[in-house]
Structure 1
């Protein structure tokens, strides 16, 4: 807090007697002048003794983001937003999807934007009334399939990929499709034992959602889960941990990794090859919404508009491997470039109320029980 004395009134009192002196033309008014001078002097002394007024120092605008997106991947977007809004102080908190989900539901989360790749959980939070509606030109123009109720918005179009080490390629034909993965796990089970990694369906929100999607689109899905169990595949909680294990040689093959992270990792780890599935590709879309209790709603609105606006989507397409949704953006990482590569067999998770069924407790428990039964006979799996 900064304090300044209230001096203008004192200055006025000092000036007025001088004016009276100037305009007093006769001796008759000099007595009045002396009386006024005495009164003005007294008031000026009192005014000078008055307590000072408190003036609040201007505070810098802030934006608090709880995000299930690695800071390294998000860095170009955050930097571009800061260039656009240099007066906004960014507080970016990188957490797991489960941690972000839990934070959003706290009584006083003190967060402005919730950002995550766990789409069903995001829809559930919005359904609980924890989001603010965004009324802007950007929101109105955004594709209907990439938003829900103008409250939660998808802003990326990320393929789910496979990744393998060159060690694998030196010993067997690398996989290019989901069917190839099953064949490798079946025909080279002994060689690949302990050298395969995939998501845990029980400890990763994204992992569970991806397996559920796989079960819809692949007739070989349950055979694949059984094959993962036969090679004692390690079940991880994040793509980052999978990639670290691939790079240090613990794993030779990774299944269902986030393409954005894998592609960026491969740029600095030439021993890791990222393969886009040739038969079909699951798509994970990161979503963001303004929290109902956002302490800085104006900055939050600016951030979401930036993410889905032309400027932000241009950064997504050209400076990150997150893949832009907009069809008027040209760059190496766009939804259209994926369609050119894979064709129309791209299956994004639905961003609507139907995804809530994925979180039904009974349905989730049944699916997990069947998954672990196929993987390891129902025994507890880390």
Structure 2
């Protein structure tokens, strides 16, 4: 005879089973390390138990591929590759979010209520304490250039940065550097002369810095670096003092989202006071909202760096970075200056 649940236990379980079956799935494709953003995801799941969040952490190039070609489409797309996000929205792949949070979101951090920058992450230099035993660590871009030229032999093969051909965010950051620094190409040439190793993501750079392969890393995502440094005290995170780039993770609801209501609820949460407080208090992703208080806020970053903080703007100027002719011209110059084989 088969075992059967007691009637009282079955009656107790039925409501829970009904709730589980009624949960709405939500597919999020994101270029954002789950370990770093975990507090925000957990806060969303507590606030919305009726939604079954499925969060996929991928590279910027993979996320862009999913946004363009995945069938069914993802519900929400998040990426640090800001020009690619803007290009997809410009192509009509996003739908607007009509909510108080979206309407009141700072104008400089959104475009047409369709795509929103919800983090405020500084771009940093990271070095090992080993470096400080041999030379004065760099606090500015000019310091790094001088260090590379004066200690070229000692730093040979011990410097790392993004590959602009293998990383969407890496390419974007170098384009911004070229905009703000008249000595950018001199720095690229100095990195090439020091045998710089190009990586496709910040995690690989941090792992190399941790195991001693690298002594200094340039243009790392500050959120990942700060999170990593908490458990690796031999690494020092430096926000450049001459100027500091800031990138924002951009999120949009896909035009063909299978679950658009849940998708809009998720994006709205990213923009909410609760979501931004979680970013400011529990993650190094930095909140955007000016009134939010915590160790990681845009205002606190401005207090540290002052007027030399340069956020990458969310506007139509981003579209120039995905222009094929501009990209080719930039990469031709990059390869000419750096004089190494790029991946």
Q: TM-score band (shorter)?
A: over 0.9
Q: What is the aligned partner in structure 1 of residue 312 from structure 2?
A: 349
Q: What are the ranges of 5 or more consecutive residues in structure 1 without an aligned counterpart?
A: 1-56
Task: Name the residue aligned to 2:31.
Answer: 68
Confirm whether residue 287 of structure 1 aligns to residue 278 of structure 2. Answer: no
Distance 1:86 1:169 in 2: 49
Output aligned runs, 1:292-307, within 5 Å.
292-307=255-270
1:59 and 1:110 mapped to 2: Cα distance? 21
Q: Deviations over 1:166-196 (max 9, x none)?
A: 1101110001111100000000000000000
Tell me the C-alpha RMSD between the 2 structures. Answer: 1.2
Q: Do the aligned residues in 2 keep the contact of 1:103 with 1:109 (CA within 8 Å)? A: no
Question: What SS does structure 1 have at the residue aligned with 2:291?
Answer: coil
Residues 1:90 and 2:53 are matched in the alignment: yes
Q: Which aligned pairs between 1:262-341 and structure 2 lie closer than 5 A?
A: 262-341=225-304
The higher radius of gyration belongs to 1
Give the TM-score taking structure 2 as reference length: 0.93
Cα distance in 2 for partners of 1:354, 1:109 equals 30
Is 1:130 the equivalent of 2:97? no
1:1-382 matches, cutoff 5 A: 58-106=21-69, 108-376=71-339, 380-382=341-343
Secondary structure of the equivalent of 2:286?
coil
Q: TM-score, normalised by structure 1?
A: 0.84
Structure-1 separation of matches of 2:50 and 2:145? 52
Equivalenced residue count is 325
CA distance in 1, matches of 2:127, 2:141: 14
Runs in 1 of length 4+ with deviation above 3 angstroms?
Answer: none
Deviation of 1:107 after TM superposition, in Å, equals 5.6
- Distance across 1 between alignment mates of 2:309 and 2:83: 18
Residues 50-93 of structure 1: CA distance to partner in whole angstroms, max 9, x if unpaired? xxxxxxx9532111100000010110000000010012111000
Q: Which of the pair has the greater relative contact order for Cα pairs under 8 Å at 6+ separation? A: 2
Structure 1 CA distance for aligned equivalents of residues 45 and 157 of structure 2:
44
Render the CA deviation track for 1:323-378: whole Å, top value 9, x for unaligned. 100001011100000111000111111211111011110110001100110000xx
Structure 2: runs of 5 or more not aligned? 1-19
Q: Distance in 1 between the 2:71 and 2:231 partners?
A: 41
